[in-house]
Structure 1
């Protein structure tokens, strides 16, 4: 990766869904910078030189211990800080109706309603001085990672339509080959379930709508769960130019 030719999706390692969260405009006209925050699925880095190109200082792994055991990434030996921040959605899936019009949207709403403390702690991790460049990942880089990245982008002033568009890019990259290549126990969605492995922008928009209606937006949601406003400001400064 070079600063002269930034790209959204990064062909590094064995990742299918490794993306740079750069060049999104915020409400005041600044833009997120390239090479500061990345999102991805979980797979193994095979070349430390590829990783060095990202300059990662922090990795936030949203998977539980069992998922990590099934699919280790090797990042612990290559990045100064690899933080385990389990954000297990499985128990919440039981409350999502099988016949719901948008089960993923319902799941994301349940995550923000039921996992506020965990989500706030993750954003606070990213806001630490010197935490960036950082990578946030789960198994597929879609649901748990999608909610975390959406909270970050929304809290620093990126418009809802851009947040939902970034989320929906996942649908282009999590192909049948992805689901065939990873262990069934990895924590990614069941490859036979077309609904749960999808990434429709409407699902993320549903979550953002609830954030606005019930919490006053992402920033207020995060401060209400213990993230200091100055930490969010620091993260915004570190992510934008």
Structure 2
């Protein structure tokens, strides 16, 4: 588990859920480094002074065009490489919500099964030699971002327990104030469905179970969808050394 929890959430810009994924133990005892990979909700960054301290080289924005228009972040002017990589879960929502005791878990598994090449390509962007420090974000930093970050952490050897705990921290930060402050078109959650606003560890654990059962783990899932083994080795080294 994390040993430096006060450093994990970063009060930069108007974000609610900007977090550093440093200080998680990897399988062989090394730990992820602070300041290499961040996850976040979307916000407007109008002052680059605080953001400059992160030294970001890459931002991966998982939102679609309508979401970007509804809430422009301003990061294009502050970060050298801002990549739009839409990962739209909405076509999968109706099936996930239908009769499932864990609709978010069902949604994450559906993303895993239906968006494999796209998800792998997104993780592949992080394996480039000059990609880090990087920020991955969507609207709330919970669902699309949660799936991508879970795959990254699991693929480099972080335990399922810590992957689930990192995901569940979102529930502490996406408060009622967050949902009240965002534009309805931002895509952070369907305002009509409270079930989509949570972040229970069981939901991301459902994804991890399917990764193991159907693919032999996150690393095999990514390599099976086109990410080279050596690229994952590079990402592990870049995140831990």
**TM-score w.r.t. length of structure 2:** 0.96
What is residue 206 of structure 2 aligned with on the other side?
206
What is residue 215 of structure 2 aligned with on the other side?
215
**TM-score w.r.t. length of structure 1:** 0.96
What is the CA distance between 1:95 and its match in structure 2? 1.5
Whole-Å Cα distance in 2 between the matches of residues 177 and 6 of structure 1? 21
What is the CA distance between 1:21 and its match in structure 2? 0.3
What is residue 35 of structure 2 aligned with on the other side?
35
Whole-Å Cα distance in 2 between the matches of residues 192 and 200 of structure 1? 19
Unaligned runs of 5+ in 1: none
Whole-Å Cα distance in 1 between the matches of residues 89 and 5 of structure 2? 36
Whole-Å Cα distance in 1 between the matches of residues 55 and 93 of structure 2? 36
Whole-Å Cα distance in 2 between the matches of residues 30 and 11 of structure 1? 27
Q: Secondary structure of the residue that 1:34 maps to in structure 2?
A: coil
What is the CA distance between 1:46 and its match in structure 2? 2.5
Do 1:57 and 1:80's aligned partners in 2 also have CA atoms closer than 8 Å? yes
Q: Secondary structure of the residue that 1:222 maps to in structure 2?
A: helix
Matched, 1:129 2:144: no
Runs of 4+ with >6 A deviation? none
Q: CA RMSD of the aligned region, Å? A: 1.3
What is the CA distance between 1:55 and its match in structure 2? 0.3
What is residue 18 of structure 2 aligned with on the other side?
18
Unaligned runs of 5+ in 2: none
Do 1:176 and 1:191's aligned partners in 2 also have CA atoms closer than 8 Å? no
Distance 1:28 1:46, change over 3 A: same
What is the CA distance between 1:20 and its match in structure 2? 0.2
